[in-house]
Structure 1
Amino acid sequence: MAFESGMASLGAEGASAAAHALSLPAESYENDSRLEVMWAMKAYNHAEVYFNLISSVDPKFLKLTKQDDLIYSSFRETFKDLNIQQLQPDDLKSDEAKETWRPFCNQFEGLVEDFNYGTLLRLDSEKDYSEENTLFATRVQFFAIEIARNREGFNNCVYKMKSAQS
């Protein structure tokens, strides 16, 4: 994955400072490229942990949040026909999609911690994170799609592939 050397170069003290900086309110920052790199590294770390999780534990048993049932039912009610196995960028980024996603996401404010934080999302559920297979999404979009992929069996191939390699 892309940022491993960047995180390693921070060291323990730098990583601690980065974690503290990321916990401060957004208003305390101006445009700072170092902050953007820290956010990217945080998103990358989240992606790496999640992919390792679905690679080592049968995804149908995973619970990602305390609100999984609510997120899933609301997601499938709102996005009945969304192809979660193979997402297209426009499924989340087009103007029309944004109009549907915005109220969906906002209903989880206060229910899902960091619901609107930036998170990396795989487009193709059968593949690892890569530049071509990754989209920047909000945390609740990530949860909605990954909870659905886990429940509907689309992440099974990742688990089975990694289990076969062991």
Structure 2
Amino acid sequence: MASDSGLTSLGVDGASAAAHALSLPADAYGNNPQVEVMWAMKAYNHAEVYFNLISSVDPKYLKLTKVDDQIYSSFREMFKDFDIKLLNPDDLKSDEAKTTWRPFCNQFDGVIEDFNYGTLLRLDCEKDYTEENTIFATRIQFFAIEIARNREGFNSFVYTASGSKT
């Protein structure tokens, strides 16, 4: 992963250039390792902020998007029995899963900004982001699963374990 200095080591001009680079379409780069590192840093920073948020605010009160209700309803309609407490990577990454997830995800194109960008997602909702407990998912998959975890009480464990009061 990135060093402790992260984006701050780039300075203002470097960070601005990195932000601009991350806004360009993926096909503009090919397999540029520097861009991959910037994406990884962005995904890691998002994960860190989110985990800190659910550790300090009761997750049942969180609103992650303007369309949380729509995301949650559609998710539970399409994935009635999906285990959100402990994710099985095959339920997100197998060819069969991709076929099922694709229509769900695509309905949020134009609704959720960057709906298909890569995001880190915890496999076991009672644990922090670690190499063993993290999978790469699309942003809309992250929203669907984390909104469900928040509403159904599964992320309350993190909040309670952090010493916050319910």
Q: Which amino acid aligns with 1:29?
A: Y
- Aligned match of 1:59: 59
Does the Cα contact within 8 Å between 1:105 and 1:140 map onto a contact in 2? yes
CA–CA separation in structure 1 for the residues paired with 2:36 and 2:134: 17
* 1:52–1:4 Cα change, 3 Å: farther
Does the Cα contact within 8 Å between 2:59 and 2:150 map onto a contact in 1? yes
Secondary structure of the structure 2 residue equivalent to 1:135: strand
Give the aligned length: 164
Secondary structure of the structure 1 residue equivalent to 2:136: strand
Is 1:16 the counterpart of 2:11? The answer is no
1:63-99 CA-partner distances (Å, limit 9, x unpaired): 0001100000000011111110000110101111111
- Aligned match of 1:108: 108
Instruction: State the identity %.
Output: 75
Does the Cα contact within 8 Å between 2:92 and 2:98 map onto a contact in 1? yes
Deviation (angstroms), 1:4: 5.2
Write the mapping of 1:91-130 to structure 2, written as runs, cut at 5 A. 91-130=91-130
Secondary structure of the structure 2 residue equivalent to 1:137: strand
Does the Cα contact within 8 Å between 2:55 and 2:164 map onto a contact in 1? no
- Aligned match of 1:134: 134
* 1:6–1:37 Cα change, 3 Å: farther
* 1:6–1:89 Cα change, 3 Å: farther
Deviation (angstroms), 1:6: 5.3
CA–CA separation in structure 2 for the residues paired with 1:151 and 1:4: 35
Q: Which amino acid aligns with 2:4?
A: S
Q: Which amino acid aligns with 1:5?
A: D
* 1:6–1:120 Cα change, 3 Å: farther
Structure 2 unpaired stretches of 5+: none
Question: Normalising by the residue count of structure 1, what TM-score does the alignment of the two structures yield?
Answer: 0.93
CA RMSD, Structure 1 to Structure 2 (Å): 1.6
Deviation (angstroms), 1:12: 4.0
Does the Cα contact within 8 Å between 1:43 and 1:119 map onto a contact in 2? yes
Structure 1 unpaired stretches of 5+: none
CA–CA separation in structure 2 for the residues paired with 1:42 and 1:11: 16
Does the Cα contact within 8 Å between 1:43 and 1:120 map onto a contact in 2? yes
CA–CA separation in structure 2 for the residues paired with 1:102 and 1:6: 37
* 1:15–1:89 Cα change, 3 Å: same
1:99-129 CA-partner distances (Å, limit 9, x unpaired): 1000000000000111000000000000000
CA–CA separation in structure 2 for the residues paired with 1:70 and 1:50: 21
